[in-house]
A and B are shown apart, each in its own frame.
Chain A
């Protein structure tokens, strides 16, 4: 590949952010590419912001995506997608964002107001070249709940053009990497279907 491809996964601890990153980095390995994946631990299970930086290149890069240089933003939560896009997105960025909100301790206690989802998507759209806002709730109720959000979103991004890893690579990586691959692959396919509907 000529140019690096940077994927940023933004979400909340406990959403399966790191698993997403692992699936995509192993998928890049299947293509003989040189992924470097930077994970933020510690907060990952305690409800804080979690970012996974995945840089795909033909040589070893530093683990952090430079500011504004994400090619693909996988937003597992709207507020976190916005927070990440302000720092790491630009006109070249395609953002796929789940609209399922995860309240913060302060929004629950009325110490802060969680902004309306449409305002968040609007703000992300003002920064990114393209935004696909996707509501996972209906599909995930069918498949097995919000625990499967990561597989669903992996399905959603697999239909995008210009991503150096293909749908088949991601499927194969899920098969190799995840426990219970059948349920995850079925949920992946729901993500594919919903994303195709939206991008038409």
Chain B
């Protein structure tokens, strides 16, 4: 199977997934989240033919627990997630770490998103490795991403600990050449034998002591690892110590700065530190520049470790002395700047004239915020929210949540909060209890279908139990759209071997004071339903049947049978109105300056007809 092992372009995600398959993984769990989604997707696409298990779990905590269980039964297990997913899973991680992992090995891959390209915050997840006293790997390239997974399983099996691999967006989402090995059809030892003593009580402190001893031994193993590469002559003027994708930036920066006597230490095993390797590097450099994504994790560890060494004369530079930023993504330019500052060299990429040219060019730029797809029913719901807010004199507060509908923050601030999975209804359950404090605003929250199942249920129970006055709007488009249409339990159509769990029935079991199903594709009824519901006291839940147009198109839907949408120029009030183009903001509606009339981009339009309702002059027609 998969006999073609010729080198090919693979993303960091695909490479890590491939590495897991080649290493014999048998049980894989994940919850989708950018930038980590592609790992489990690759494994799932091959799972059936190899005879292994791969699932989208309901959330990351369950994913981690399920994979840990399989590991204790002796099956090599993998759990992948994004940075914020590890927060969800951390409750279990920070206690399971004290019980040994199973004989098959247990590897956790976390995808961090420096700069927060697709994340509501910026987080360095490596501190979990430190907090949980677990080994951590940070591959720097595509081949290494693949190879590091097999190494992680080796370490896990040998030392009986879960091993964490940290990737970042740039590695996960870029592609480079990878050499492949064959994947064997897996055969797991039968009968499965469960590990014993899977608890830390009554002496968790002693389990922690033992893990600390183990982590020291792993540090010694890391000293022998060929993943860490020290390239330095004697007495380098400048040595970079870089981890993850920053190794590539460090290499290129050292080529660029035109200083002869430089060196690089590329660290893949960043927790625990390979102390001998680090000590050797430190002793050979006058200046050390740390390059790593997000926090000064390696930097702090090495600065601290250096105090144990006698006669260290080198100077340390990095995020702690502001030579490299501790926010946003690192790149080659920042590496060059850091290196030049460390050596006291002047840095300027452009002369004054070039700088001025760019400055005046920059003045022309306008922003391009993200927006909903053409015909997205989330836009309809938020248009309705806008209308209802107007009717209530602005006294409607909508707490937002994580998913495509997060874009509501850019849509006339239709939602007012945006934090973590499930936080919308949680915040609303608190605000909904403030009416006795004099709060005069109605309180609502939105959540998508996958998000509802992931994290909203306890908060909804809390709202009911505490008698909060809250309306939860569930925007159910029957897919995990934001991350690329992964299946979740709430969908009617389930793959073989999986069963539907009805969101409606869960909601009804919680027994809200008012419950209704709405049709988000029907704009008029959506406005009316939200308006009448949010004014009711008690717990209200609206389940909006919604449509993801991307999913619909992916499934082969074409819109040619519906009539074309067009503008009746005579009825249109032009610039004096412009509600369709300027306020409703569907990407299929443009504006033609010369005629001062909207235009419908037919190649983008999905002919949903929502804009027909939006136009107050009946100038948008369909047929």
Contact = CB atoms under 8 A, between A and B. Distances in A.
A85 B362 CA distance: 10
A126 B173 contact: no
Contact of B366 (A13, A41, A63, A107): A107
Contacts of A12: 368
A64 B332 contact: yes
A179 interface: no
A80 B368 contact: yes
B333 A47 contact: no
Given A103-B591, A108-B591, A64 B368 contact: no
A130 B578 CA distance: 39
A108 B173 contact: no
A46 B371 contact: yes
Nearest to A107: B366
Contacts of A66: 252, 256, 331-333, 336
A46 B410 CA distance: 12
A68 B350 contact: yes
Contacts of A106: 366-367, 369
A126 B360 CA distance: 10
Given A48-B369, A64-B170, A120 B248 contact: no
B590 A103 contact: yes
Contacts of B407: 46
A80 to B, nearest CB: 7
Interface centre among B34, B362, B369, B585 (most CB of A within 10 A): B369
B368 A109 contact: no
B515 interface: no
B482 to A, nearest CB: 8
B366 A108 contact: no
Interface string B410-424: 100000000000000
Interface in B161-198: 170-171, 173-177
Contact of A119 (B336, B364, B366): B364
B365 A79 contact: yes
B603 A64 contact: no
Nearest to B358: A86
Interface stretch (A32-40, A162-170, A182-190): A32-40
Contacts of A129: none
B118 interface: yes
Interface string B330-363: 0111001000000000000110001001101110
B603 A147 contact: yes
B170 A63 contact: yes
A34 B177 contact: yes
Interface centre among A25, A26, A46, A67 (most CB of B within 10 A): A46
Contacts of A38: 170, 173-174
B416 to A, nearest CB: 19
A108 B175 contact: no
Given A86-B361, A103-B591, A113 B366 contact: yes
A46 B358 contact: no
A104 B587 contact: no
B456 to A, nearest CB: 23
A83 B350 CA distance: 17
Contacts of B171: 63
B35 interface: yes
A178 B284 CA distance: 52
Interface in A9-56: 12-13, 25-26, 29, 34-43, 45-49, 53
A109 B9 contact: no
A138 B407 CA distance: 34
Contacts of B367: 104, 106, 112
B364 A110 contact: no
A112 to B, nearest CB: 4
A107 B585 CA distance: 11
Interface string B394-405: 000000000010
B582 A115 contact: no
Given A82-B364, A86-B361, A105 B248 contact: no
A8 B591 CA distance: 30
A126 B117 CA distance: 30
Interface centre among A13, A104, A105 (most CB of B within 10 A): A105
Given A45-B550, A146-B603, A63 B117 contact: no
Nearest to B249: A62
Given A60-B142, A110-B582, A46 B361 contact: no
Contact of B373 (A29, A40, A46, A119): A46
B349 A68 contact: yes
B370 interface: yes
B366 A43 contact: no
Contacts of B360: 123, 126
B261 interface: no
Contacts of B578: 109-110
A41 B589 CA distance: 24
A79 B366 contact: yes
Contacts of B550: 45
A61 interface: yes
A36 B175 contact: yes
A61 B252 contact: yes
B407 to A, nearest CB: 7
Contacts of A110: 578, 582
Nearest to A36: B176
Given A46-B371, A60-B141, A60-B177, A104 B249 contact: no
Contacts of B245: 62-63
A39 B175 contact: yes
B372 interface: yes
B118 A120 contact: no
Contacts of A53: 174
Interface of B: 9, 34-35, 117-118, 141-143, 170-171, 173-177, 245, 248-249, 251-252, 256, 331-333, 336, 349-350, 354, 357-358, 360-362, 364-373, 404, 407, 410, 550, 578, 581-583, 585, 587, 589-591, 603
19 contacts: A13-B370, A29-B9, A35-B175, A41-B35, A43-B117, A46-B404, A48-B369, A62-B170, A64-B332, A66-B252, A66-B333, A80-B368, A85-B361, A86-B362, A103-B591, A108-B589, A112-B366, A115-B366, A127-B361
Q: What are the 10 tightest A-B residue pairs by CB atom distance, in nearest-first order? A: A62-B248, A63-B174, A42-B118, A109-B582, A38-B174, A123-B361, A112-B366, A66-B332, A115-B364, A48-B370
Given A64-B170, A109-B583, 4 more contacts: A39-B175, A46-B371, A62-B249, A82-B365
